[in-house]
Structure 1
Amino acid sequence: MYVPPHFAENRPEVLFDLIEKNPLGILVTNGQAGLDANHLPFELNRSEGENGTLHSHVARANPVWQDVSTGDEVLVVFRAADAYIAPNWYPSKREFKKQVPTWNYLVVHAHGRVTIRDDERYVRGLVARLTRTHEAAQADPWKMTDSPKDYIDMMLKAIVGIEIEITRLIGKFKLSQNREARDILEAGEMLQKQGDELIGGSMIAFGTEKARQS
């Protein structure tokens, strides 16, 4: 991924936060059958390995777990938000006419080495943790014991675990940082008015800080 210096986000804790808040990642592999991409929910363990570890699972019927081998390099892409930026939102455009459309976004690329975990204990523990995490906000959280044991056992046999040791994290937070503070602020306000709260709010925060420093 091309990352100009002004769009780079290198703080591990910020990148980890984005992953945990947006756990549906795109697993990109280049196995025996060539390039492939699978959309999977991931669990991040920040303390495992030097740069953290990602855990997920796929359907046994999904060929990806047989197409790649343990130790292969893979990429997982996590996206928080994106938004189109219209040139007319920039005050400087109204003065000088020298602006073009662009697209802002918040993404993290996690490079790593994959391990195929085809064992029942791993997938059972993973599913239990994912369930606790994503059911926590429900009024009546579902848990694995709500279903018959033989049914859960059957479902677990139908999935295979995927573990990815992160070797490199690349963050790109494109928020018009290369523009004037007034342009960043007004574009961020326009985004918020149309409901793009995350990108809009992030731009306003950055623009405010840039204006304070100028």
Structure 2
Amino acid sequence: MYQPNQFRLDDPGALKQAIDQAPFATLITQSEKGELNADHLPLLFEAADGGSSPGTLRGHIARANPLASGRVDCQTLDCQALAIFHGPQAYITPSWYPAKREHGKVVPTWNYQVVHAHCQLRLIDDPDWLKALVTELTNRFERDRETPWAVNDAPAGFIDRMCRAIIGIELTIERLEGKRKASQHKPMEERESIQQGLRDESGYDDADSLCLSGID
């Protein structure tokens, strides 16, 4: 990923937060024939307890997915994968820039936040592991609801059948790199104008409009 220094996002806490806020990832792998494949799935991040890895990502795919039927060796950690987490993004019109009124020498841009996780991938076909994973995924995405749905709200036999239709994915992270291109290198007056435009014209909430305007 092209990384100008002013846009580099490398603080471990900020990277974890970015993943947690945008957990639906694009997972890139390569087949034995050299073909690139992209799968789309939510991934949960777990920070490492010491060691050289920044942590792991966990999720699941359908058992019918070609990724689960021969593209990788389920028993070893020798398959390279790239998980991409897309954060907030927005078109930035030059109409918001104070410089447009002053001299007109302005052009549009696109602001965004993204994290790349370079990983070693393995598949996990273990009923207990999968049951724990889907429970954790459910709890994560139901937690803000007034009346959260829980896995044990469904019949146990039904959940067991559903789990037999999926395969677990565990990604050991080798390297994390993040990028926040958000006009943070621009004068504060311009950043404030972008933040106002994102909020008032484009409908972004305060958190995303502040993130995308480069205002910390």
TM-score normalized by structure 1? Answer: 0.90
Q: Residue in 2 aligned with 1:110?
A: 117
| 1:76 matched to 2:83 | yes
Segments of structure 2 that go 5 or more residues without pairing to the other structure are none
| Secondary structure of 1:124 counterpart | helix
| 1:202 alignment partner AA | C
Q: Residue in 1 aligned with 2:175?
A: 168
TM-score normalized by structure 2? Answer: 0.89
* CA 3–199 in structure 1, closer or farther in 2 if over 3 Å, else same: farther
| Secondary structure of 1:84 counterpart | strand
| 1:138 matched to 2:145 | yes
Q: Deviations over 1:75-122 (max 9, x none)?
A: 111112101001121111322222111100011111111011111121
Alpha-carbon contact 1:104-1:199 (below 8 Å) kept: no
Q: Deviations over 1:175-210 (max 9, x none)?
A: 11232222122112111112123442125562xx7x
Q: Residue in 2 aligned with 1:52?
A: 55
* CA 203–133 in structure 1, closer or farther in 2 if over 3 Å, else same: closer
| Secondary structure of 2:64 counterpart | coil
Segments of structure 1 that go 5 or more residues without pairing to the other structure are 210-214
1:164 Cα deviation (Å)? 0.3
Superposition pairs for residues 197-212 of structure 1, below 5 Å?
197=205, 198-203=207-212, 206=215
Q: Residue in 2 aligned with 1:25?
A: 25
> Distance between the aligned counterparts of 1:6 and 1:101, measured in 2?
19
Alpha-carbon contact 1:83-1:196 (below 8 Å) kept: no
Alpha-carbon contact 2:82-2:117 (below 8 Å) kept: yes
| Secondary structure of 1:67 counterpart | coil
Q: Residue in 1 aligned with 2:195?
A: 188
Count of residue pairs the alignment pairs up: 207
2:156 maps to which of 112, 129, 149: 149
Q: Deviations over 1:130-189 (max 9, x none)?
A: 111212222332222222222111111100000001111111101112322221221121
> Distance between the aligned counterparts of 2:188 and 2:65, measured in 1?
48
Q: Percent of pairs identical after alignment?
A: 38
Q: Residue in 1 aligned with 2:105?
A: 98
> Distance between the aligned counterparts of 1:181 and 1:20, measured in 2?
28
Alpha-carbon contact 1:110-1:166 (below 8 Å) kept: yes
Stretches of 4+ moved more than 6 A in 1? none
1:20 Cα deviation (Å)? 1.0
Greater share of residues in helix: 1
